[in-house]
Amino acid sequence: MLKQLTSRRSIRLKGYDYSQSGLYFITICVQHKKHLFGEIDHQKMILNDAGIMIEQWYRELECKFNNVMCQEIIIMPNHFHCIIEIKENNNSVPVGTIVQWFKTMTTNEYIRGVKTKKWKAFDKRLWQRNYWEHIIRNEYEHEKIAQYIIDNPLCWENDKLNVYHP
């Protein structure tokens, strides 16, 4: 019996070239919104070793992709937000390729941490299957989103992603 394939609706902007230069606001969530990267204490994000690892791999994007610049970032207990900049380049890769590489590298490193450092285990996937992105169209939007990223720990109490999972 053939398994029926479910069609997934793309959340990407139809016809947009995601490898073109510009700023992109990215959000990636942990599968089942498990808190794996640290905790909020007095409205400050305190990264654990896994959270520090996430930040290191984010910074590594600039080494892997010579047309990428890492801008603002906040790692939260169960997700992270960042702004990546794609610079003009003949060999530009799309945002989806950049995110996929990041998710692969962090997942592999997290598995090593579970095995050797007793990090919390995860079920099947570290990250949710998809990610959220927003094309930043002007300086005003950039400033507004950058401030949102910086202020994210201050708003954790009311954050829709703040679902506690032990």
0.85 exceeded by the pTM?
Answer: yes
Task: Report the phi/psi class of residue 48: left, alpha or beta, with left for phi > 0 and alpha for psi in -120 to 50.
Answer: beta
What share of residues in the chain are helix, strand, coil (percent, to 5)?
Answer: 35, 25, 40
Encode pLDDT of 2-47 as tens digits: 444 444 445 556 778 888 999 999 999 999 999 999 999 999 999 9
Which amino acid, residue 9?
A: R
Q: Is the Cβ–Cβ distance between 153 and 74 less than 8 Å? A: yes
Report the C-alpha gap between 13 and 11 in whole angstroms.
Answer: 7
**Average pLDDT of the residues of the chain:** 90
Query: What is the 3-class SS of 21-79, one letter each residue?
Result: CEEEEEEEEEHHHCCCCEEEECCEEEECHHHHHHHHHHHHHHHHCCCEEEEEEEECCCE
Are β-strands 22-29 and 68-75 bridged in parallel, bridged antiparallel, or unpaired? unpaired
Reported as a pLDDT band with limits 50, 70 and 90, residue 51 is: very high
Average pLDDT for 40-55: 97
pLDDT category at 92 given cuts 50, 70, 90 is confident
Q: How wide is the angle at C-alpha 121 spanned by C-alphas 119 and 126, nearest 5°?
A: 105
Q: Which of 12-16, 49-53, 102-106, 127-131 is the least confident region?
A: 12-16
Question: Taking residues 68-82, what's their average pLDDT?
Answer: 97
Short-list 112, 84, 106, 133, CA closest to 31 = 106
Inter-CA distances, 162 with 12, 76, 145, Å: 25, 9, 19
How far apart, in whole angstroms, are the C-alpha atoms of residue 78 and residue 162? Answer: 8
The answer to whether 127 and 34 have CB atoms below 8 angstroms apart is: no
Q: What is the CATH number of domain 22-158?
A: 3.30.70.1290
Which pLDDT band, with edges at 50, 70 and 90, does 89 fall under?
Answer: confident
